């Protein structure tokens, strides 16, 4: 499966039997903070879509998605909840009271991740 560069033009419908969707259509999310790290819990709306998240929403891809906004990215799997947890290190300008960001506590990194596009079977 071909990876699409986030930040590029909206891809045309993929060739063959797959099409592109935004994560917001198949997942929901909540995010929070721990110091200078933002976390994003990404949850498949339907259990059958969870493997798609595991396969395509990798730590590398998420780091590229948030290029310039975060340092390193770690990923953990929670198959019992059909969820992935991402830690975005260095995302909050020092975090807590130090941060000058509107989103000093990383509350809406969640929906920024949901802008990502992945490929699903038709």
Partner 1 sequence: MRVAAGQGFWGDWMEAPYRQVTGGPIDYLMMDYLAEVTMSILQKQKSRDPALGYATDFITQMERILPTVVKRGIKVVANAGGVNPRACAAAVADVARKLGLGGKLTIGVVTGDDLLGRLDGLVARGHELKNLDTGRPLRDVRDRVLSANAYLGAAPVVDALQRGAQVVITGRVTDTGLTLGPLMHAFGWSGDAWDLIAAGTVAGHIIECGAQASGGNCLNDWDHIPDLSNVGYPIVEAQADGTFELIKHPRTGGRIDVPGVTEQLVYEMGDPREYITPDGIADFTTIQLAQVAKDRVRVSGVRGKPATDKLKVSIAYFYGYKAVGTLVYAWPDALKKAQAADRILRQRLADLGLKFEAIHTEFVGATATHGALALEGLDPNAIPEVQLRIGVRAADQKPVDRFTREIAPLILNGPPSVTGFAGGRPKPEEIVAYWPALIDRTAVQPAVEVITA
Judged by the rule CB under 8 A, the positions of this chain that interact with partner 1 are 6-7, 10, 28-36, 39, 41, 43, 45, 65-66, 68-69, 76-83, 85, 87, 93-98, 100-103, 108, 110-112, 115
- Residue 101 CB neighbours (<10 A): 13
Shortest CB 1 distance to partner 1, Å: 21
Q: Which among 82, 94, 70, 93 is positioned nearest to 41, based on CA atoms?
A: 82
For residue 52, the tally of other CB atoms under 10 A from its CB is: 20
Tell me whether residue 59 or residue 103 sits nearer to partner 1 (CB atom).
103
Nearest distance in Å: CB 121, partner 1: 23
Residue whose pair of structure tokens reads 């906004």 in the numeric block: 69
**Nearer residue to partner 1 within complex by CB, 95 or 119:** 95
CB of 39 to partner 1, least distance (A): 5
**Across-strand partners of 44?**
27
Choose between 16 and 102: whose C-beta lies nearer to partner 1. Answer: 102
Helix, strand, coil % in the chain, rounded to nearest 5: 25, 30, 45
Instruction: Report, in Å, the least distance between residue 20 CB and partner 1.
Output: 13
């Amino acid at each position: 499966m071909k990876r699409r560069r986030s930040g590029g033009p909206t891809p045309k419908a993929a060739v063959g039997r797959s099409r592109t969707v935004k994560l917001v259509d198949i997942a929901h999310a909540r995010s929070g903070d721990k110091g200078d790290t933002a976390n994003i819990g990404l949850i498949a709306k339907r259990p059958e879509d969870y493997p798609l998240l595991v396969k395509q929403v990798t730590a590398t891809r998420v780091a590229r998605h948030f290029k310039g906004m975060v340092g390193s990215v770690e990923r953990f799997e929670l198959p019992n909840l059909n969820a992935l947890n991402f830690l975005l290190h260095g995302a909050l300008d020092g975090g807590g009271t130090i941060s000058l960001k509107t989103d000093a506590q990383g509350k809406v990194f969640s929906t920024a991740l949901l802008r990502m596009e992945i490929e699903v079977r038709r």
